[in-house]
Chains A and B, each alone.
Chain A
Amino acid sequence: MTQDLSIPETTTVRGESALGAFLRAMWAVVWKDLAAEMRSRELLSAMLVFALLVILIFNFALELDAKTRSTVTSGVLWVTFTFAGTLGLNRSMAIEKDRGCLDGLLLAPVDRAAIYFGKVLGNLIFMLVVEMIVLPVYSLLYNTNLFHPGLLLVILLGSVGYVVVGTLLASMAVQTRTRDVLLPILLFPVVIPLVIAAVKGSAGFLQALEIPEIMPWLNLLIVYDVIFTAVAFMVFDYVVEE
């Protein structure tokens, strides 16, 4: 225990732009979330098992002809994604709270928005991984082709909006004792416009409607994503500070 604790003075100064520091911190958070999940597989396995169970239950519960299937599919998919997503969001923030790690993150001398966007990106990756596994399984079970570029775009836009709002509200809910119950209560009312737009947009592509009929829903998804990303960017600092 005789080693010098200090960093040599010549190496402590580092010329880095604010954007560079922001991106460095954001990627550090993403890397940390992915590395921890690769070890534990708690979050992905919980989301996947739940999502696969839901589509399996719907498959047995609904005896559908081809026409009805195309109208029901988008609803079943988004019910699956939103509920599985809630599990992931809760777990993702619980990891930060368990050993006081959220304080560790907040103590870092970086723009706190970088921490938020790092968490958003991590959560989005987990959600997209689950969706990419659910889609082929659903296609097999329901004998429906879901690999339509338009549908994939809707899923991407819907997932972005869901994760942007969900991560912000999860960081709020995680401060409370009833975090597991509180997140869906806070989240679902806020994401109703997003889910409606995503369901309608997905159904439009599955029923091969004309693009002008689908565009309003796509526009709503884009506007929702932009507005809530901006809101989250502005308020995250206040949400996590006592």
Chain B
Amino acid sequence: MIEVHSLYKRFGLKTVLRNLDFQVQKGEFVALLGPNGAGKTTLLRILASLSRPSMGVVRIAGYPLPGQAAAVRRRLGVVSHLPLLYGDLSADENLRFYGRMYGVPNLPQRVSEVLELVGLASRRRDLVRTFSRGMQQRLAIGRAVLHDPEVMLFDEPHTGLDQDACSMLDQVLSEIAARGRTVVMTSHDLMRAADLASRFDVLSRGAIVASVPRTEMDPDQLLGFYRQAVTAP
């Protein structure tokens, strides 16, 4: 579903991603782990077609980037630590706006379904700027699944959430994974990643330095695996 070969990304003289190879099969839930500055967000922004690769091949669902970015974006749902929502619009209006941008059919019904799903149906008329951080993140997930994407990209979705909001988010993430969607999630929270993901990849110094399927490793050993991967020469 996601294929990345020999990817380089440079910002001026700084090379953030170097010769990176990364594959994700359909239905896999990959936790992308790594220290700050490793290039996780840059990789996700390239996969989301928000950033152009300097060199290399990127394909999502068979469509090359940046050549067929619109076809890729139709199949993508993205959640980052920013909600990507308008504070002066209500929850309902935000979803209607994004629904129009994605050409979602039967929009009023779909918006109601999604608001129900993320537990915000009773607050649908409230302005997003009155929402707590956790509620905004739930609505951000609603926005991301509104057009029923095949691939979900989560960039540190737990950032700034309290324990209740994190649990709620985990529940939604599990449900998304259970639906057979392909998921890539960056995270610093190893415990949560261990509970959710079916594969763990470690990105360090601009390249994937280690990868292990959940079936081949006890989740309790994830911290050791991560430390070994990032400290290896």
Which residues on A are within 8 Å of B, measured CB to CB?
A: 1, 3-7, 11-12, 14, 16, 21, 24-25, 27-29, 31-32, 35-37, 39-40, 95, 98-101, 103-111, 241-242
Contacts and interface: CB of A to CB of B under 8 A. Distances in A.
B76 A107 contact: yes
Interface in B27-73: 45, 48-52, 66, 70-71, 73
B184 interface: no
B93 to A, nearest CB: 6
Contacts of B49: 106-107
B166 to A, nearest CB: 15
Given A107-B48, A108-B73, A7 B105 contact: yes
Contacts of B172: 1
Nearest to B141: A5
Interface in B127-152: 127, 143, 145, 147-148
A198 to B, nearest CB: 32
Interface in B144-198: 145, 147-148, 171-172, 175-176, 179
Contact of A242 (B50, B102, B148, B175): B50
A95 B82 contact: no
Contact of B87 (A24, A98, A106, A242): A98
Nearest to A6: B148
Given A7-B148, A108-B73, A110-B70, 14 more contacts: A1-B172, A3-B113, A4-B179, A14-B103, A32-B86, A32-B97, A99-B86, A99-B87, A101-B84, A107-B48, A107-B49, A109-B70, A109-B71, A242-B51
B195 to A, nearest CB: 16
A109 B74 contact: yes
25 contacts: A1-B117, A5-B148, A7-B104, A7-B148, A11-B106, A14-B105, A28-B100, A31-B100, A32-B86, A32-B93, A35-B89, A39-B89, A99-B84, A100-B82, A103-B48, A103-B84, A104-B84, A106-B49, A107-B48, A107-B78, A108-B73, A109-B73, A109-B102, A111-B70, A242-B51
A7 B71 CA distance: 18
B116 interface: yes
B207 interface: no
Contacts of B175: 1, 5
Contacts of B76: 107
A83 to B, nearest CB: 24
Contacts of B48: 103, 107
Contacts of B102: 108-109
Contact of A104 (B85, B93, B103, B104): B85
A59 B76 CA distance: 56
Contacts of B71: 109
B97 A28 contact: yes
B116 A3 contact: yes
B82 to A, nearest CB: 3
Given A100-B82, A100-B84, A108-B98, A5 B179 contact: yes
A128 B130 CA distance: 31
Contacts of A95: 86, 88
